[in-house]
Structure 1
């Protein structure tokens, strides 16, 4: 089952579900967040609740997409309680891309490659044990989550704005503090790769950018092997196209290990919080020499996730010095 949300005339979310080619409204006035929280309180599965309340009128998702009415498949009513985070160096092949960005002439092996090797050796532990911890980063809260079709905006001080085609897990923290996975979605883990390349210790800064997920949320198990395509368009011309692979068969870590090392912190097990956690990639146009420009369009597609995720790039006006942030005392 795939779930999505669009904005009604009054701006409130309407849940949409589909199991095949046809999409239908779910008979509820609740957002997906509120419906899922209600299911957790009642001890009921989301899929079963939707089957009980039923579906109503058919929906043309492509038309809603074109009209700019699609929302992220799930949002939090208080954006400060939605956490955008991720892990890197998790995919076979990802280390060579990162290592090339961080390589210096006198390096024998970059820290990125060392971290990747740790994952290969201990990222998929047997018998339920905790494996080696991965690289981890913070992107922001719900204010940085962008709808499908909306612009990913690079701030004035950005040196780059580049796509990263990823799979994200979406999690809701139950009233008893247990993380519960709602589903999986395509994600564009938008980053500043030029800044990161200057010094890998700038990675934390380079990740503090917007991100997009969706348009649809996959409810259920994720296949071991996933094939997708990442594209960049400039006007009518496609300037980049490259396949990407994901799923555990193509990763150095298991999802269970990556989830454990995120949710082992009590900070991330606060009841009612929503988490969007991105699991990394080995494919990005920056590594192939693409220099993105204002107005370029990113498209990330993998059939199992339904509609592709499309977002234009917007650079805020540049050419003037970065303004100093002034702090005042109360």
Structure 2
């Protein structure tokens, strides 16, 4: 699987195209803010952009264990020209019937999660309201799109996220769902340069006091969804608000049932570890009730 990531190294921004491995050499390519997004648009896709960037930029070689500050994939400087949003109730397991080719598309519910600058990286703290009713972790595929100067979205690739939210508040009143989503979202730095994955499987472990307090499996790939990914994306990008020039969109495809549905309740200080075994990716974050978002 081809990947792309961006990071800060010794105070400068770089792109890399293989995951760091301690003890192995890692090639980094110095880029300016927005350069990778521009290459994706100009070259007609992320794979072609990688080829162009590696031709044009001389690499810097570091050890895979070097101190790198990884960034959310393609996040613009400042993060205020990027949006995080997603779909609700997308899994087949939440419907009584099975979709067919003749099933008429009816758009699933959609929510706005926040600006791209609100995204948290692996190991960073996820801050939630001090009086959260009942949290739920949501392992999801996140599609990443970059808009050109005309506002046309260009698909760049996918990564994985934890759409942590207060499902208890939503259950009290579905109209409060916008409040329910005001919890930090974590995302992995690795952008996979392929079409949205058909199968994504893994295990979630919620640790309390350093030991596993709950464990379960998940599948958030396209084959597990009631809706076709392209239908959802096409409908979403009909809305001009998401087609602003230069905007980066992180679109979450939804999650299946998780710890809340098993009767477990996430507590202050718990650590949520999402192991996407199908893609060899781990996303782990501690949870804090109250406090200031964006601080450790």
Residue 303 of structure 1 and its aligned partner are, at CA, apart by 3.7
Among residues 46, 60, 64, which one is paired with 1:60 in the alignment?
A: 64
Indicate the structure (1 or 2) with the bigger Cα radius of gyration.
1
Query: Is residue 242 from structure 1 mapped to residue 242 from structure 2 by the alignment?
Result: no
Cross-structure match for 2:8: 7
Residue 148 of structure 1 and its aligned partner are, at CA, apart by 1.8
Q: TM-score, normalized by length of structure 2? A: 0.85
Separation of aligned partners in 2, 1:229 and 1:288: 14
Task: Name the SS for the 1:36 alignment partner.
Answer: helix
Residue 216 of structure 1 and its aligned partner are, at CA, apart by 1.2
Separation of aligned partners in 2, 1:50 and 1:241: 41
Task: Name the SS for the 1:48 alignment partner.
Answer: helix
Q: TM-score, normalized by length of structure 1? A: 0.77
Residue 35 of structure 1 and its aligned partner are, at CA, apart by 1.6
Separation of aligned partners in 2, 1:148 and 1:19: 14
Question: CA 1:51–1:125 in 2, change beyond 3 Å: closer, same or farther?
Answer: farther
Cross-structure match for 2:294: none
Query: Once the two structures are superposed, what CA deviation does each residue of 1:42-91 show, in whole Å capped at 9, x if it has no partner?
Result: 65732322442465424436x758xxx33223312242211110001111
Cross-structure match for 1:162: 136
Question: CA 1:233–1:173 in 2, change beyond 3 Å: closer, same or farther?
Answer: same
CA RMSD of aligned residues (A): 2.7
The answer to whether the 8 Å contact 1:190/1:210 transfers is: yes
Question: CA 1:283–1:50 in 2, change beyond 3 Å: closer, same or farther?
Answer: farther
Query: Once the two structures are superposed, what CA deviation does each residue of 1:236-264 show, in whole Å capped at 9, x if it has no partner?
Result: 21112211112222110111011112111
Among residues 302, 305, 309, which one is paired with 2:276 in the alignment?
A: 302
Residue 157 of structure 1 and its aligned partner are, at CA, apart by 4.2
Among residues 161, 179, 189, which one is paired with 2:163 in the alignment?
A: 189
Task: Name the SS for the 2:165 alignment partner.
Answer: coil
Separation of aligned partners in 2, 1:252 and 1:220: 21
The answer to whether the 8 Å contact 1:151/1:312 transfers is: yes
Q: Which segments of 5 or more consecutive residues in structure 2 lack a partner in the other structure?
A: 292-296
